[in-house]
A and B are shown apart, each in its own frame.
Chain A
Amino acid sequence: AQKVTQAQTEISVVEKEDVTLDCVYETRDTTYYLFWYKQPPSGELVFLIRRNSFDEQNEISGRYSWNFQKSTSSFNFTITASQVVDSAVYFCALSALTISNFGNEKLTFGTGTRLTIIP
């Protein structure tokens, strides 16, 4: 069974501060994919990043960076110099590729972290 844990329910930081959102996952599969999605107040989930289990390189995209560590089963997300527009709920998610579910890889979401950036 797959599981994604986002222990931080809510985080508030002052604008321009850095903030890290934690994500811990569980899976028995050796091939899997990790995702982060952003859900602004409008309600539409927006894709941010996908990582496969064989690529542990950290990634940076502008003010966003992701730290993937298989040793601790974590895929953490850091926003540098936060802005008010970053206020949203952020979801970490996992899908696995196995012979039994080939072609039907179900995405399992965490419970989300509500991030509030205070101006």
Chain B
Amino acid sequence: EAGVAQSPRYKIIEKRQSVAFWCNPISGHATLYWYQQILGQGPKLLIQFQNNGVVDDSQLPKDRFSAERLKGVDSTLKIQPAKLEDSAVYLCASSWTGRNEKLFFGSGTQLSVL
């Protein structure tokens, strides 16, 4: 079974630039998550999709972050414009139903904002 795919693996940008991350979940998984993991901290949920609808984006900084999940499969997360404090690992995860079950994570995208 193929795992959660993410790209790019690493990204370095300057502040005020824009950046996009891509995620392909495990086939058949209805729920897709984007987490932000700042160095030394646990992952923090940014947005959760159920199929192609948003069920939770309460911690997404909507003035600069946006995400979409077209056709209920792949997803992209965008930051525009980036700030220094956005430096983190961005993790994508998926699960079958999103109901208190285990999540399958990708390897993440490490973003450095200079």
Neighbouring B residues of A91 by C-beta, 8 Å: 42-43
Residue of A46, A95, A109, A110 near B100 (CB, 8 A) is A95
Complex CA distance for A41 and B6, rounded to whole angstroms: 16
Interface size class of B (residues with CB under 8 A): 20 to 34
Complex CA distance for A85 and B96, rounded to whole angstroms: 29
Residue of A97, A103, A105, A109 near B42 (CB, 8 A) is A109
Residue of B40, B45, B104 near A107 (CB, 8 A) is B45
Closest to A6 in B: B42
Asked if A104 and B56 sit within 8 Å, CB to CB, the answer is yes
A100 CB within 8 Å of chain B: no
- A45 and B48 in contact (CB under 8 A), knowing A33-B100, A105-B100? no
Chain B residues near A (Cβ < 8 Å): 3, 40-45, 48, 50, 55-56, 89, 91, 93, 98-108, 110
In the complex, given contacts A43-B107, A95-B100, A104-B55, what are 17 additional A-B residue pairs having Cβ atoms less than 8 angstroms apart? A4-B42, A33-B100, A42-B107, A43-B89, A44-B108, A45-B93, A46-B105, A47-B103, A52-B100, A97-B100, A104-B48, A104-B56, A106-B48, A106-B56, A109-B43, A109-B44, A111-B40
